[in-house]
């Protein structure tokens, strides 16, 4: 059974806690993520290059609306989809947002795809880094299925 990294926020410092059996798990409780530069735009100062959010409808919009959208107060899939895109666009450059990036390890067509999770004010949006398509939008900051490779 593969262990999945878990994101924890402690006094505005975010850390990745990785179980001993996971691959590449060099970070542990009490360690700070090291600044890096990547092809996705994170510089050594910790800023993250914005992703152009796609106008394509959210991945599995109906399923995600039924799971999260109604509970968030959206009356339609269209309103939920529009709010997710607006949230992503607005908060990916918000210095108070938490931004996590990693690869999806779940089943389906997105397996292995790099995804970015943007969390602010108790809500999280997941975006496909390559296409800019919104994958999900929900209350909370749970990252099930994303193997975290970068954290800001």
Region of poorest pLDDT, from 51-60, 72-81, 101-110, 112-121: 101-110
Supply 135's token pair. Answer: 């994958």
In a domain, 105, yes or no: yes
In a domain, 87, yes or no: yes
Q: Residue 81, SS3? A: helix
- Is the model more confident about 37 or about 117? 117
- Is the model more confident about 32 or about 97? 97
In a domain, 33, yes or no: no
pLDDT classification of 150: cutoffs 50, 70, 90: low
**Residue 64 belongs to what H/E stretch?**
helix 61-64
Q: Among 29-33, 106-110, 133-137, which range has the highest average pLDDT?
A: 133-137
**CA atoms within 13 Å, Cβ hemisphere of 116:** 27
In a domain, 139, yes or no: yes
pLDDT of residue 41: 36
In a domain, 136, yes or no: yes
In a domain, 27, yes or no: no
In a domain, 52, yes or no: yes
pTM of the model: 0.67
Which structural domain, as residue segments, surrounds residue 137? 45-151
Per the structure, the count of domains in the chain is 1
Separation in Å, CA 104 to CA 31, 90, 98, 123, 152: 24, 23, 18, 19, 18
In a domain, 4, yes or no: no
């Amino acid at each position: 059974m593969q262990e999945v990294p878990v994101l924890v926020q402690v006094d505005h410092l975010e850390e990745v806690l990785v179980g001993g059996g996971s691959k590449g798990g060099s970070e542990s409780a009490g360690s700070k993520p090291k600044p890096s530069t990547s092809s996705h735009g994170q510089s050594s100062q910790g800023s993250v290059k914005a992703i152009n959010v796609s106008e394509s409808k959210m991945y599995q919009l109906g399923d995600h609306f039924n799971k999260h959208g109604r509970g968030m107060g959206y009356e339609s899939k269209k309103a939920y989809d529009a709010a997710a895109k607006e949230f992503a666009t607005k908060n990916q450059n918000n210095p108070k947002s938490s931004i996590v990036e990693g690869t999806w390890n779940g089943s389906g067509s997105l397996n292995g795809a790099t995804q970015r999770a943007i969390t602010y004010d108790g809500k999280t949006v997941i975006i496909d880094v390559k296409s800019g398509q919104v994958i999900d939008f929900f209350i909370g900051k749970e990252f099930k299925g994303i193997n975290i490779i970068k954290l800001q």
